[in-house]
Structure 1
Amino acid sequence: MKVISVDSSTTSATCAIVEDHKLLGEIIYNDKKQHSIILMSQIDTLLTNLGLNINDIDGFVVSKGPGSFTGLRIGMATIKGLAQPLNKPVIAVSSLDALAYNMAYSNGIICPILDALRDNVYTALYQYKGEELIKLTDYMAIHIDELIELINLKKETRVTFIGDAVPKFKEKLYNSFNDTYFAPSHLNSTKASSLGELGIKKLLKGEQDDIFAVAPIYLRKSQAEREYDNKMEMKKNASN
């Protein structure tokens, strides 16, 4: 089974083609370029350089976030636009799952953290049990101090952090736990190859998402929605 997998949930734009358990090719840009401009060119470049045609692809994997509202919409729209005319299956995988999978078979808690601004992070807690990655919590948008309290409640001695928020909070996290590890910098962005491998596992089990219903994970309102809510609240208060 060959799949195209893409992640555009953060400033990083990444695309991969994975065949069963073999990575055929991967492109990662992490310099804040516009995903709407570069994502299709990444896919075209991979197909061309690998001597493949879009009809050779058996399925499509896309990140469902959490992350950038605009980036997630671009990724979803791109994959839906490719999969629908081909009548090929689509599976959406969380970018947090893919980040945790970057640290396969680590001991203790694995904690991916993506910057959600204002000292908040998108996160979930994971742990390996044998060869299976277990999600210990729901996906969350949470203040970094609350995350530290939550991890301490788990009473695990070893914690590994990974994600684009690591540089921002590294010192604080290092001083908060006795046995703290950090992923190397090249793993701190979501890798489309990790996303693709997780997606293939799901597709081989017969899982797939409804192409018309699948949507990103939005753990909080967009800035535009928050500004609108604030405006409505101010109008309501003024009328009272």
Structure 2
Amino acid sequence: MIVLSIDSASKVATAALLDENNLIAEYTINNKMEHSTLIMDMVDKLLSDSNLSIDDIDGFIVSKGPGSFTGLRIGMATVKGLSFGANKPYVSISSLDALAYSLVSFDGIICPVMDALRDSVYTCLYKGNNGKLEKLIDYSALELDDLIKILKDKNEKVMFTGDGLIKHKDYLSTNLNNSFFAPNHLSIIRASSLGDLGIKLLLDNKCDELNSSPFYLKKPQAQRELEKRLALENENKL
């Protein structure tokens, strides 16, 4: 089975071709360019450079979040279109799972942290077990101090990864003993890691429905601001 894997949940745009035994090709761009102008060009180049066509692809994998609202919609729309057009299945995988899977051999707690603005992060806690991830808590949007408290209570060594380290690495290091930090190339979501997780599901005939949607954890900023304004207006009417 050959699959195409795409992630656009964060600033990184990444795509990969792989089968159950081999990574065929992977492209990753980590800058502020618009994903809408990158993703399909990356897919076309992956296929061309690998001497494959879209007809050779047996399934598609995409990150479902959490992450950037716009980026997630671009990735999901792209994969849904490819899946529908090729009449091939697709599956969506958590961005946090993909980050953690790159560190599945670490013998402690694996803690991906994705920037959720201000002093909060999207996160989950995992342990690796024979090449598989075991979740210790559910996907969460947490204030940084709340995450630190949870980890202190567990009293184990922790490996952090993710773009949240750009802002919070010093604070985490100062406030949490026995903390470790993934190298830069493993602190971004890799389409190959996402693909490894997704291909196992596709091989088990598990796939998403075409109407599946991104997993945000937080409401979009515009919606939160609207709800706040409406609540204030209702208070003023009382």
- Same fold flag (TM > 0.5): yes
Q: Which of 197, 208, 218 is residue 220 of structure 1 equivalent to?
A: 218
Q: Is the 8 A contact 1:159 1:180 kept in 2?
A: yes
Which of 220, 224, 227 pairs up with 1:229? 227
Cα shift at 1:178: 2.5
Any conservation in 2 of the 1:21–1:197 contact (CA below 8 Å)? no
Query: TM-score, length-normalised on structure 1?
Result: 0.96
1:64 Cα offset (Å): 0.4
- State the Cα RMSD in Å: 1.0
Equivalent residue pairs, number: 238
Match of 1:64 in 2: 64
Deviations 1:91-121 (A, max 9, x none): 1001100000111210110000000001100
How far is 1:132 from its partner? 2.0
Within-5 A mapping of 1:1-240:
1-156=1-156, 158-212=157-211, 214-240=212-238
Alpha-carbon distance between aligned partners in 1 of 2:131 and 2:73, rounded to the nearest angstrom: 32
Aligned counterparts of 1:62 and 1:185: Cα–Cα separation in 2: 22
**Cα distance between partner residues in 1 of 2:172 and 2:158:** 10
Verify the 8 A CA contact 2:124 2:138 in the aligned structure 1.
yes
Contact 1:65–1:216, Cα closer than 8 Å, also in 2: yes
List per-residue Cα deviations over 1:15-56 (Å, max 9, x = no partner): 111121311111111111111111111101101111111000
Q: Shift of residue 228 of structure 1?
A: 0.8
Q: Distance in 1 between matches of 2:20 and 2:179?
A: 34
- Aligned amino acid, residue 176 of structure 1: N
Runs of 4+ in 1 over 3 A off after TM superposition: none
Query: In structure 1, what is the Cα distance between the partners aligned to 2:36 and 2:236?
Result: 41
State the AA in 2 paired with 1:98: A
Aligned counterparts of 1:64 and 1:236: Cα–Cα separation in 2: 35
Deviations 1:96-150 (A, max 9, x none): 0000011121011000000000110000000012332111111001111000011
DSSP 3-state at the match of 1:137:
coil
- How far apart, CA to CA, are the structure 2 residues paired with 1:198 and 1:141? 23
**Pairwise CA distance, 1:166:** 1.0
**Secondary structure, counterpart of 1:217 in structure 2:** coil
Deviates more, 1:202-211 or 1:90-99: 202-211
Amino acid at match of 1:188: S
Residues of 1 paired with 2:210 and 2:88: CA distance? Answer: 10
Q: Structure 1: any 5+ residue segments left out of the alignment?
A: none
Output the CA distance in 2 between the equivalents of 1:202 and 1:104. Answer: 18
Query: How many Å apart are 1:85 and its aligned residue?
Result: 2.1
Report if aligned partners of 2:104, 2:127 keep a CA contact under 8 Å in 1. Answer: no
Looking at structure 1, the residues matched to 132 and 235 of structure 2 have their Cα atoms a distance apart, in angstroms, of 52
1:7 & 1:204 partners in 2: Cα distance?
20
The residue type equivalent to 2:222 in the other structure is A
| SS across alignment from 2:117 | coil
Percent of counterpart pairs with the same letter?
A: 48
